[in-house]
Amino acid sequence: MEILIILFLILLNGIFSMSEIALVSSRKFKLESEANKGNKNAERALGLANSPNTFLSTVQIGITLIGILTGIFSGKTLTYDLTGIISRVPILSPYADSIAVTLVVVIITYVTIVFGELIPKRIGLNFPEKISAAVAQPMTILSAIAKPLIWLLAKTNDLFLRLFGINEKQDGTATEDEINAIIRQSTESGEIQEIEQDIVRRVFSLGDRKASELMTHRSDLIWLDKKDDSLKIKEKVNSNPHSAYPVCDKSLDQLLGFISLKQLFSRSTEEDFNIEQHLNKPLYVPENMAAYRVLEHFKQSKIHSAIVVDEYGSIQGIITMDDVTDELIGDTIEIDEDEYQITVRDENSWLVDGQFPYFELLEHLQIEGEKESEGFTTVGGLVIHQTNHIPKTGEKVRWKDYELEVVDMDGQRIDKVLITKI
């Protein structure tokens, strides 16, 4: 009978241990999701998760009482019975009490660890939300019964924490890295699709980008002069198709406005076509403006192209709605997309265009931890930053665990860079 009672107590200890690890390991967003579907047990489990001190105190009281009761039954009954059995062996008779106590302690400890701790906790870790919901109601009832003792324990705990200068941790918010880890785990378990994970990752990336990092640099812009005739406009459009073109007066710094490709197609064939009559007002944004702020400006102004200027008002490039959305959902197939390439030569080297975006290079090389560049946005800018001058063809420089070699120059602009892993 006593053995059955001890086994029951060990089983009860396992239930408390399993409940504790399950609730601590539970992801609140899953419990919230189930609670929103009307699952009352999930709602109770969420309540316990939001007040862990009460729940953990209840569990600790239960485990402590079970340990005391197990010790009483095993020490008083099992030890006595085992001593009688051992005493029948003449050579062991003088040491019967000591041997019995040792055997009882070893056996009870082993059984308690395996069936009262390890196995229940492993089960709790494997099914945290389900078990939390299953034990929520009985644990809530036990918490109510033990409330006076829990209050005393909580006050005592707070008192000693203050004496040691330890403040209770209040920050329960998740960091960007923690959210990414949750998304990655959910993707691996099949609850979230890979494309959804990619979009979430890009949303966080967008928050770290500036307009200068997403824009098309002025050296790569195709612009129309207000005096261009229909034939010249058609020639520029056919050789460099984009969704919209800046229109200037003799130079890019004398910007007059934008004209869309649709307007050009519908109007440029008219004999009296005057490009200045169809211009759209330009939107200006500073080069250090956050990308998501640029997106807000696009939404508010209903203008989907903006001129990026530096602190002196000089035009540095153009950023469009497509540039921002591409950062969120990946490159889209657009007629105005002039892709810069990265070519894999072998597993340890890549041939990269000088205008290839710096952050896309980090992503391609799987380099983590860098959220900001030091004033450059392209691979060419990276090389110049590392060398502190305009390099010559064949010049090499080390960057992290890679060697950057300038393979080709286009005037003063770096055209091709060979990146080799050292």
Q: Which domains does the chain have, with CATH numbers?
A: 2-163 (no CATH), 176-206 (no CATH), 209-329 (3.10.580.10), 342-421 (3.30.465.10)
Q: In whole angstroms, give the CA distance from residue 251 to residue 403.
A: 38
Percentage of residues in the chain having pLDDT higher than 70? 91
Q: What angle do CA 329, 332, 333 make, to 5 degrees?
A: 170
| pLDDT confidence band for 15 (50 / 70 / 90) | very high
Q: In whole angstroms, give the CA distance from residue 270 to residue 158.
A: 83
Question: Which pLDDT belongs to residue 420?
Answer: 92
Instruction: Decide: 39 and 133 in contact? Cβ < 8 Å.
Output: yes
Closest CA to 129 of 43, 37, 187: 43
Question: Which pLDDT belongs to residue 286?
Answer: 93
pLDDT at 320 over 90: no
- What b-and-e string marks burial along 56-71, b requiring 16 or more CB atoms within 10 Å of the CB? bbbbebbbeebeebbe
- pLDDT tens for 114-162 read 999 999 999 999 998 899 999 988 988 888 888 888 888 878 878 888 8
Q: Which two tokens stand for residue 254?
A: 């004398």
Residue type, 334: E
pLDDT at 266 over 60: yes
Provide the Cα torsion 214, 215, 216, 217; round to 10°.
-110
Query: Within 10 A of 302 (CB to CB), how many other CB atoms are there?
Result: 7
Instruction: Decide: 291 and 210 in contact? Cβ < 8 Å.
Output: yes
Task: Please list, in sequence order, all residues whose beta carbon lies within 8 angstroms of the beta carbon of residue 305, skipping any fewer than 6 positions away.
Answer: 244, 258, 282, 283, 318, 319, 320, 321
Start-to-end CA distance of the chain, whole Å, equals: 71
Q: Are strands 396-399 and 349-353 parallel, antiparallel or unpaired?
A: unpaired
- pLDDT tens for 354-386 read 888 888 888 888 887 665 566 677 898 889 988
Task: Please list, in sequence order, all residues whose beta carbon lies within 8 angstroms of the beta carbon of residue 254, skipping any fewer than 6 positions away.
Answer: 248
- Residue owning tokens 């890009």: 202
Closest CA to 15 of 124, 137, 109: 124
Q: In whole angstroms, give the CA distance from residue 132 to residue 146.
A: 19
pLDDT at 271 over 50: yes
pLDDT at 170 over 80: no
Mean pLDDT of 190-209: 79
Question: Which pLDDT belongs to residue 173?
Answer: 64
Closest CA to 313 of 234, 370, 253, 375: 253
Q: In whole angstroms, give the CA distance from residue 215 to residue 188.
A: 34
Question: Which pLDDT belongs to residue 337?
Answer: 43
| pLDDT confidence band for 113 (50 / 70 / 90) | very high
Better-predicted residue by pLDDT, 272 or 48: 48
Better-predicted residue by pLDDT, 28 or 351: 351
Q: Which two tokens stand for residue 120?
A: 């229940």
Question: Which pLDDT belongs to residue 338?
Answer: 47
HEC string of the chain? Answer: CHHHHHHHHHHHHHHHHHHHHHHHHCCHHHHHHHHHCCCHHHHHHHHHHHCHHHHHHHHHHHHHHHHHHHHHHHHHHHHHHHHHHHHCCCCCHHHHHHHHHHHHHHHHHHHHHHHHHHHHHHHHHHCHHHHHHHHHHHHHHHHHHCHHHHHHHHHHHHHHHHHCCCCCCCCCCCCHHHHHHHHHHHHHCCCCCHHHHHHHHHHHHHHHCEHHHHCEEHHHCCCEECCCCHHHHHHHHHHCCCCEEEEEECEEEEEEEEEEHHHHHHHCCCCCCCHHHHCECCEEEECCCEHHHHHHHHHHHCCCEEEEECCCCCEEEEEEHHHHHHHHHCCCCCCCCCCCCEEEEECCEEEEECCCEHHHHHHHCCCCCCCCCCCCCEHHHHHHHHHCCCCCCCCEEEECCEEEEEEEEECCEEEEEEEEEC
Beta partners for residue 115, in sequence order: none
| pLDDT confidence band for 110 (50 / 70 / 90) | very high
Q: In whole angstroms, give the CA distance from residue 32 to residue 149.
A: 29
Question: Which pLDDT belongs to residue 381?
Answer: 87
Please provide the average confidence, as pLDDT, over all residues in the chain.
83
Instruction: Decide: 121 and 17 in contact? Cβ < 8 Å.
Output: yes
- pLDDT tens for 324-357 read 888 777 655 444 444 567 888 888 888 998 888 8
